[in-house]
A and B are shown apart, each in its own frame.
Chain A
Amino acid sequence: MLTKLKIASALALTITLASCGSKPTTTDATAGDTTTTAAADPSTKSILVFGDSLSAGYGLDDPSESYPSVLQTKIDSAKLPYTIINGGLSGETSAGGKGRIDWLLKQHIDVFVLELGANDGLRGIPVKETEQNLQTIIDHLKAKYPKAKLVMLGMQVPPNMGATYVTDFKEMFPKLATKNNMALVPFLLQGVGGVRSLNQKDGIHPTAAGAKILASNVWEVMKGVL
């Protein structure tokens, strides 16, 4: 009886505290480390990847397997003076991002990569609402660092969500990118979404191999920006 109880209340709490599931993720002190690095070495520029579990590397064994980390190795091998700040947070929604952005903008940002909305989509939050939130985040960034370059990572929701919603959701990203003059990666999960072997058991989060493809998708667009 007690065991049952504990499970039940623990479940309730898990839901309370972790919206889209926060399993242990070995990761990244990147955000913190880079803060200090950025401050210490003015010659490096910083890229903020502002996202959800996909950026945080949810479910991966090693933080260095998440796509922002893979991206960093690509930047390093291209000998570009950029350091990535991983601002990924599992379960983050656009509304959450809106509240969090100011905290991260305390440090200087040269390139801003926006990867949010997936959790909104899975939760069926109206596209209009998500769109407004993302716009607010972009506005905050522009207000503080008008010179920063912007990259938008597009997302899609699975077809089972219904055609109208799927379409509206998918179209939101190019719309925002155009409006705000952002570089656009049309679909972050291109070549990974729906491919079982590249996803973890839950069918949503990419494996390490999948994350590599994600990084390539982003790199295709980003190398032009840098």
Chain B
Amino acid sequence: METILNISNLNKTYKSAGRELTVLDNINFSIGAGSTNAIVGPSGSGKTTLLGLCAGLDSATSGIVELSGISFTNLSEDKRAQVRNQYVGFIFQNFQLLPTLTALENVMVPLELRGEKNIKARSLDLLDKVGLADRGHHYPAQLSGGEQQRVSLARAFSNSPKILFADEPTGNLDAETSEKVVKLIFDLNREAGTTLVLVTHDLELAAKTQRIIKIKGGKLVADDKTGNE
């Protein structure tokens, strides 16, 4: 299995009031293409920071983040943005849909940004897959939390990403909706052959992935295979 994400000697420190705060301390791991992974840990363990660095939303203090063979180390924010646009899909805890765009338009954005063709048809197709074909013209505020997360899912898959980062995707959803959304994530993921990196403190959710990486106090403390296929 090829490596899609390679993290080595990753450190992240923040300077706050003259004091250095180490959030991530020498993290090393790599993720194979098409695998499903969970990063777990208690609040404040640094897992969200790690996600941000993996996705190229932030730059590391030291160490290497390599996404699909591209190192983020010397890339400018704008270049990282383009890498994100082409390789990365996102799912957020609070959905992060553009409030001023309809569900359909939200799904279309990454494709439009790439200047692709048949955008509308492909987006409608994706909305159909998440079961929202008829809600395409609704604005996020008019959708329920579950529906919003499904739209965000459709958006995440719209640019056929190589890797999908999900930050507590069920954090704002009730149990029943969570279940549906989780199922959808895994189904779509399998169908597209996308690599999934899931950040959560929900161990039940983490258990559905193939691998669980545990972070505590900024350090990688465990890296276990779950045996899932």
Physical contact A–B (CB less than 8 Å): no
Interface residues of B (CB under 8 A from A): none
